[in-house]
């Protein structure tokens, strides 16, 4: 039997038509000798029914089927009897009497439940991912992903961008994380690297005159994983010649609006997306990816405590530190245990301590340290933090960086909305912003400097002169796009001036031989005429996580890895034989062989169990 309609397609207008629906048996229900078999595919559910007297052959066949068998059902559509229609189901007005059933595939009892109400261990879900993918939630997420990809492609191509694929077997170059390496059989002892991004190749495309490039690219990074990281991931990558940051902002915002519209969330991005400098973001929110939904910004209170007699604050201020505060609206009813827990949390985050204050009904401040503060200081705290009765005020005295970082994390702990759902769905919606003017360098922990982004990021044109006198103070033409405290992506204007690039390498302590070895092919191309260019990369999985209101990117990837980088479905990564290793000029160390043997024993034990 050949399918004529999908399971979510039939309506009252199809009554009288002979149809064939194919799919999985969602349920079999016996109502007083009448069998109801719900057949499901990715579009929905069709109710089919067999009465022993009216459809004897269909009834006999339907008696044999079980849940998750794959079947084809033929019958003539009719209206459901009065009072049995289901207005919550798109196909709920009709049903298909079973004239014939063809069993296309039988199913053994399932190792995981497919209903969305039952919590299932994630490792078990990933081990049986093909079954997990049958769930409505993952079907919806992956189809949303496909629609968003198509919409963003159309938006960029309307702006003259050209999709170009770049290599996935490349030379290892420093990009901030470890490379995944691929040994070469033809050249034993040499390796390819899987790209952490298409960075160098998209710059070469600018040398090649492509002008505006984009790609939905696969990338790989060998780094510690978490809810929004995977060892292999996807990014929307773009680069454009003769472009300024304002151009990039406009293109990315247009792409994001197209993405939200394709995901059914049109109009959620504000007309004007705010911008914060990196320094302001760190001061006001303690993070370079602030979630603007989580309460007010952090306030510097150093002026309130100028000349204070409170020794703890005075000592910090005298040492060049500061006092900063944050208001938690309505948090004054936290228990003493919770307040003590906040102090412990602050200390765990690196603070020397934390001062809490509760705003009483008469606007006075109740706090363990209140007796050490003057009336003017108490009034100044309340005014600076816009305090109201019932609020909780948190104060940290430390270096500016530590005070903001600690209060910024407490701000998220206490006042961050859960999830990324639209406002109309009961969520807090989305709150995007641009973070701009990042530092060009950061401390490498060994007395030197390392690029905050990558060594091809252009210094801010107003700070180029500082490269020779105070490189640590140089800002970059780099910018991040953030939604709900999640870094959606980052980009920058690139260096196209050979002298500036040479100075960049010099500051990083890279010898000419190392530069030639790592980047010679790029620098050689730049010698033959390179246009000014700028680009950006969006974390595609993170974007879909927000669009689908998920907490983990694993819920928007068809076959993800665990947080340890393992694939429970296929068993990757896995050991290979000595002959395979020898073929590419490698051999296993005794330590690695012992680990592999132990893991193989564990897997054998699991299989036996």
Could you tell me the CATH number of the domain that includes residue 489? 3.30.930.10
Find the length of the chain: 609
pLDDT at residue number 153 = 98
pLDDT at residue number 542 = 96
Angle, CA of 60, 62 and 65, to the nearest 5°? 125
Band the pLDDT of 609: cuts 50, 70, 90: very low
Domain assignment of residue 163, yes or no: yes
Band the pLDDT of 603: cuts 50, 70, 90: low
In a 10 Å sphere around its CB, with 0-12 CB exposed, 13-18 middle and 19+ buried, how is residue 1 labelled? middle
pLDDT at residue number 175 = 58
Whether 244 and 531 have beta carbons less than 8 Å apart is answered as no
- Residue percentage of the chain with pLDDT more than 90: 83
Band the pLDDT of 227: cuts 50, 70, 90: low
pLDDT digits (tens, 9 = 90+) for 160-204: 999 999 999 999 876 568 899 999 999 988 999 999 999 999 999
In a 10 Å sphere around its CB, with 0-12 CB exposed, 13-18 middle and 19+ buried, how is residue 41 labelled? buried
CATH number (domain holding residue 357): 3.30.1360.30
pLDDT digits (tens, 9 = 90+) for 554-602: 999 999 999 889 999 999 998 888 898 888 888 888 888 888 777 766 5
Instruction: Say if residue 39 is in the same domain as residue 87.
Output: yes
Band the pLDDT of 329: cuts 50, 70, 90: very high
Strand ranges across the sheet with 100-105: 78-79, 94-97, 44-50, 34-41, 18-31, 70-76, 100-105
Instruction: Say if residue 246 is in the same domain as residue 364.
Output: no
Strand ranges across the sheet with 232-241: 162-163, 212-220, 232-241, 533-539, 486-493, 478-483, 432-436, 275-277
pLDDT at residue number 607 = 39
Domain assignment of residue 289, yes or no: no
Domain assignment of residue 121, yes or no: no
Compute how many other C-beta atoms are within 10 angstroms of the C-beta atom of residue 174.
16
- Residue percentage of the chain with pLDDT more than 70: 98
pTM for the complete prediction?
A: 0.92
The tokens of 174 are what? 């420093």
Domain assignment of residue 485, yes or no: yes
Residues 6 or more apart from 306 whose CB is under 8 A from it? 317
Kindly state the average pLDDT of the residues 3-30. Answer: 97
pLDDT digits (tens, 9 = 90+) for 84-123: 999 999 999 999 999 999 999 999 999 999 998 898 999 9
The helix (H) or strand (E) run that includes residue 34 is strand 34-41
First to last CA, the chain: 41
Strands 44-50 and 70-76, sheet pairing: unpaired
Helix axes 498-507, 512-526, angle to 10 degrees: 160
Instruction: Say if residue 316 is in the same domain as residue 388.
Output: yes
pLDDT digits (tens, 9 = 90+) for 366-407: 999 999 999 999 999 999 999 999 999 999 999 999 999 999
Domain assignment of residue 98, yes or no: yes
Instruction: Say if residue 409 is in the same domain as residue 498.
Output: no
pLDDT digits (tens, 9 = 90+) for 18-64: 999 999 999 999 998 999 999 999 999 999 999 999 999 999 999 99
Last residue in a domain, options 361, 383, 415: 415
The tokens of 292 are what? 């603007």
Instruction: Say if residue 455 is in the same domain as residue 537.
Output: yes
pLDDT digits (tens, 9 = 90+) for 284-309: 999 999 999 999 999 999 999 999 99
Instruction: Say if residue 460 is in the same domain as residue 508.
Output: yes
Angle, CA of 92, 93 and 98, to the nearest 5°? 85
Domain assignment of residue 111, yes or no: no
Instruction: Say if residue 411 is in the same domain as residue 503.
Output: no
Compute how many other C-beta atoms are within 10 angstroms of the C-beta atom of residue 164.
17
Instruction: Say if residue 146 is in the same domain as residue 267.
Output: yes
pLDDT at residue number 174 = 62
pLDDT digits (tens, 9 = 90+) for 123-159: 999 999 999 999 999 999 999 999 999 999 999 999 9
* Pick from 302, 405, 312, 399: nearest CA to 355: 312
Instruction: Say if residue 535 is in the same domain as residue 485.
Output: yes
Domain assignment of residue 290, yes or no: no
The tokens of 158 are what? 């309307």
Domain assignment of residue 420, yes or no: no
Instruction: Say if residue 299 is in the same domain as residue 270.
Output: no
Alpha-carbon span 235 to 551, nearest angstrom: 18
Instruction: Say if residue 148 is in the same domain as residue 268.
Output: yes
Instruction: Say if residue 205 is in the same domain as residue 313.
Output: no
Q: Which residues form the domain of 479?
A: 138-276+430-556
The total of structural domains in the chain comes to 4
Last residue in a domain, options 347, 381, 415: 415
Last residue in a domain, options 415, 438, 454: 415
Q: In this structure, which long-range contacts are made by residues 361-367, counting pairs with CB atoms below 8 Å and at least 24 apart in sequence?
A: 361/389, 361/390, 362/389, 363/387, 363/388, 363/389, 365/393
CATH number (domain holding residue 45): 2.40.50.140
What is the pLDDT of the chain when averaged over all its residues?
Answer: 94
């Amino acid at each position: 039997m050949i399918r004529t309609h999908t399971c979510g397609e039939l309506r009252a207008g199809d009554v009288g038509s002979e149809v064939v629906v194919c799919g999985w048996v969602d349920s079999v229900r016996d109502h007083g000798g009448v069998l109801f078999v719900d057949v499901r595919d990715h579009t929905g559910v069709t109710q089919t029914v067999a009465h022993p007297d009216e459809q004897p052959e269909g009834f006999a066949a339907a008696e044999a089927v079980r849940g998750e068998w794959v079947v084809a059902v033929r019958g003539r559509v009719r209206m459901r009897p009065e009072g049995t229609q289901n207005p919550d189901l798109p196909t709920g007005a009709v049903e298909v009497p079973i004239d014939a059933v063809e069993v296309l595939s039988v199913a053994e009892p399932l190792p995981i439940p497919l209903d969305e109400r039952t919590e299932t261990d994630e490792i078990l879900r990933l081990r049986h991912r093909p079954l997990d993918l049958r769930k409505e939630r993952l079907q919806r997420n992956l189809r949303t992903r496909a629609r968003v990809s198509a919409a963003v492609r159309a938006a960029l191509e309307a702006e003259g961008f050209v999709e170009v694929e770049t290599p996935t077997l490349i030379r290892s170059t420093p990009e901030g994380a470890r490379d995944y390496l691929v040994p070469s059989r033809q050249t034993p002892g040499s390796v390819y690297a899987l790209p952490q991004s298409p960075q160098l190749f998209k710059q070469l495309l600018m040398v090649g005159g492509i002008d505006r490039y984009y790609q939905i690219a696969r990338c790989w990074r060998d780094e510690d994983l978490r809810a929004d990281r995977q060892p292999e991931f996807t990014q929307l990558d773009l680069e454009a010649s003769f472009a300024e940051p304002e151009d990039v902002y406009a293109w990315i915002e247009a792409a994001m609006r197209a993405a939200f519209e394709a995901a059914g969330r049109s109009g959620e991005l504000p007309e004007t997306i705010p911008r914060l400098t990196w320094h302001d973001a760190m001061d006001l929110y303690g993070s370079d990816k602030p979630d603007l939904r989580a309460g007010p910004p952090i306030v510097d209170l150093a002026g309130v405590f100028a000349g204070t007699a409170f020794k703890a604050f005075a000592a910090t201020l005298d040492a060049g530190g500061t006092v900063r505060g944050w208001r938690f609206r309505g948090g004054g009813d936290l228990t003493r245990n919770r307040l003590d827990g906040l102090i412990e949390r602050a200390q765990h985050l690196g603070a020397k301590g934390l001062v809490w204050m509760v705003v009483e009904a008469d606007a006075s401040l109740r706090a363990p340290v209140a007796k050490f503060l003057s009336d003017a200081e108490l009034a100044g705290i309340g005014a600076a933090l816009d305090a109201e009765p019932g609020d909780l005020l948190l104060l940290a005295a430390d270096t500016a960086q530590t005070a903001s970082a600690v209060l910024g994390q407490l701000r998220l702990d206490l006042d961050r909305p859960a999830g990324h759902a639209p406002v109309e769905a009961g969520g807090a919606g989305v709150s995007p912003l641009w973070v701009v003017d990042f530092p060009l360098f950061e401390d490498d922990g060994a007395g030197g400097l390392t690029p905050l982004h990558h060594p091809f990021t252009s210094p801010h044109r107003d700070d180029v002169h500082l490269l020779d006198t105070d490189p640590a103070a140089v800002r970059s033409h780099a910018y991040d796009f953030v939604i709900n405290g999640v870094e959606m992506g980052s980009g920058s204007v690139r260096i196209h001036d050979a002298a500036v690039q040479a100075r960049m390498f010099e500051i990083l302590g890279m010898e000419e031989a190392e530069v030639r070895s790592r980047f010679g092919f790029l620098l050689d191309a730049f010698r033959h005429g390179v246009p000014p260019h700028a680009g950006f990369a969006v974390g595609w999985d993170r974007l879909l996580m927000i669009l689908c209101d998920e907490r983990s990117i694993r819920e928007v990837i068809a076959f993800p890895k665990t947080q340890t980088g393992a694939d429970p479905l296929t068993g990757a990564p896995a050991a290979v034989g000595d002959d395979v290793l020898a073929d590419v000029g490698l051999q296993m160390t005794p330590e690695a062989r012992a680990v592999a043997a132990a893991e193989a024993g564990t897997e054998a034990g699991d299989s036996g169990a």
